[in-house]
């Protein structure tokens, strides 16, 4: 089945589709009192509410009662970086995603989002006498965010070069940015709601939340067993005539990828891709994986693999797949621990000391794992990558906290703070290309003479 409409119907159709979603998003994220959100999702609950959310009778804690501006700034910075690397990556390749192993600026955006979500959870779920009710509400938020992600990144919107929309249900992409955030959010939320926390003043933050760390270790162990232990057989996939550079016979081509290996971390034969192909289906994966920019793929200017390229260069692969979402959820749990420090401690020095200890520990461990052979890989969300980016996330938050909340230089980051308070609205507008489409509507003499077309043309020929 396919829904497809022309340009003339776009304005009315976009309004019908997005209006209810905007209402849902705003209820999930923002309130009139501009309280903290869990990155791109959370209901409104003041940090100093007289009716706290998560009841903990064992400790009469004095919780944070003022808004932490640096968290909004960090969220806004992440949204800005997302836009910057998406639109600037073709002009400045050194900021775009690494094709496979390694890290660049773009590879820090997703960990930033997950880290912020974890911090915000610790501030929102302070106390709640009804854990079952809190769980159902958290699940509802996660499902709504997941569904919104499918709408925005499932292929429904066709990009700036095609003012049309619609998606074949049999080929819709199921995973994406918001979907990954929703998974990390619900895992961290369940930890915060259900796992007990002893008195932190007596044991310290690490020991007080040992059950959270235990869940993180179990998730990392499960990830490692599946990544290195599963056997990946040879597999096949089909490429339709419209995406194949070869002359098709019978409407498309069938390609075979020779694997028959275990523990391979390359783009062709890793178990993360195999799990997604078995559970989600190869037709529901991302069709333009970044590994196509590897030299061996020899991609043309039109994004097509040459006839001599390995078969896997044409294969779909989802960088926000099922297996990598396990370690991504750990990033959210780590952010949750930073949030505990923020919620329980009132003095700047105590917060900074704990955060610095966490951050440098994660950085050191991440670098160590990378040195002993576990690559830094965003597409697989390897353990080394997760630890290193969590450390960088912590240091970035520390820098913003010192600048904005300690020294009070809030005006310097006013734009980023505003973006952070309206993160989901901006994400929806950018992901759906509604802003770009609106700009394209203003042209000189004929529709092709618009500023977006001029930019795309000159970038493609650069």
**Per-residue model confidence as pLDDT tens digits over 188-232:** 999 999 887 665 555 566 677 888 999 999 999 999 999 999 999
Mean pLDDT of the chain: 80
From residue 226, give the alpha-carbon distance in Å to each of 318, 382, 400: 17, 12, 37
**Token pair belonging to 351:** 């917060």
Which residues have a Cβ under 8 Å from the Cβ of 194 and sit 6 or more positions away? 131, 135
Return the top range by mean pLDDT from 85-89, 266-270, 450-454: 266-270
Angle, in degrees to the nearest 10, between helices 383-400 and 348-371: 150
Burial of 35 (0-12, 13-18, 19+ CB in 10 A): buried
Which residues have a Cβ under 8 Å from the Cβ of 43 and sit 6 or more positions away? 27, 28, 31, 124, 137, 141
- Model pTM above 0.75: yes
**Token pair belonging to 410:** 């809030």
Distance, CA of 369 to chain centre: 23
Share of the chain above pLDDT 70, in %: 75
Higher-scoring residue by pLDDT: 422, 462: 422
pLDDT value, residue 248 = 39
Instruction: State the residue for tokens 């709640």.
Output: 128
Burial of 29 (0-12, 13-18, 19+ CB in 10 A): buried
Rounded to 5 degrees, φ, ψ at 269 are: -125, 25
Distance, CA of 301 to chain centre: 28
**What is the spatial distance between Cα 36 and Cα 393, in angstroms, rounded to a whole number?**
18
Q: Kindly tell me if the per-residue pLDDT of 52 is higher than 50.
A: no
């Amino acid at each position: 089945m396919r829904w497809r409409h022309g340009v003339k119907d776009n304005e009315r159709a976009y309004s019908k589709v997005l209006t209810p979603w905007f209402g849902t998003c705003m209820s999930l994220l923002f309130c009139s009192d501009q309280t903290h959100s869990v990155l791109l999702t959370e209901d409104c609950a003041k940090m100093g509410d007289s009716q706290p959310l998560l009841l903990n009778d064992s400790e009469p804690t004095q919780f944070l009662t003022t808004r932490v501006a640096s968290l909004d700034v960090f969220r806004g910075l992440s949204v800005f970086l997302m836009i910057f690397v998406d639109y600037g990556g073709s002009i400045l390749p050194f900021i775009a995603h690494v094709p496979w192993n390694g890290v660049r600026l773009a590879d820090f955006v997703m960990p930033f989002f997950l880290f912020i979500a974890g911090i915000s959870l610790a501030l929102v779920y302070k106390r709640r006498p009804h854990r079952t009710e809190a769980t159902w509400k958290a699940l509802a938020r996660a499902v709504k965010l997941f569904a919104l992600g499918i709408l925005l990144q499932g292929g429904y919107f066709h990009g700036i070069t095609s003012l049309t929309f619609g998606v074949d249900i049999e080929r819709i992409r199921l995973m994406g940015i918001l979907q990954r955030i929703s998974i990390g959010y619900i895992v961290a939320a369940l930890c915060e709601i259900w796992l007990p926390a002893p008195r932190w003043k007596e044991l310290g933050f690490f020991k007080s939340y040992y059950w959270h760390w235990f869940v993180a270790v179990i998730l990392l162990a499960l990830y490692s067993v599946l990544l290195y232990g599963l056997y990946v057989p040879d597999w096949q996939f089909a490429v339709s005539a419209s995406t194949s550079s070869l002359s098709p016979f019978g409407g498309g081509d069938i390609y075979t990828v020779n694997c028959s290996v275990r523990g391979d971390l390359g783009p062709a034969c890793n178990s993360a891709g195999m799990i997604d192909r078995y559970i989600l289906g190869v037709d529901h994966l991302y069709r333009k994986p970044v590994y196509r920019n590897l030299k061996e793929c020899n991609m043309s200017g039109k994004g097509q693999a040459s006839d001599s390229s390995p078969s896997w260069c044409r294969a779909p692969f989802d960088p926000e797949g099922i297996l990598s979402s396990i370690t991504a959820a750990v990033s959210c749990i780590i952010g949750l621990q930073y949030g505990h420090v923020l919620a329980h401690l009132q003095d700047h020095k105590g917060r900074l000391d704990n955060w610095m200890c966490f951050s440098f520990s994660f950085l050191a461990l991440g670098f160590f794992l990378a040195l002993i052979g576990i690559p830094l890989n965003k597409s697989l969300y390897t353990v080394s990558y997760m630890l290193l980016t969590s450390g960088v996330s912590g240091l970035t938050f520390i820098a913003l906290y010192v600048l904005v909340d300690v020294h009070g230089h809030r005006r310097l980051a006013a734009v980023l703070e505003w973006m952070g308070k309206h993160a989901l609205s901006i994400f929806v507008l950018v992901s759906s290309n509604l802003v770009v489409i609106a700009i394209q509507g203003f042209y000189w003499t004929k529709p092709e003479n618009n500023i977006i077309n001029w930019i795309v043309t000159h970038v493609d020929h650069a």
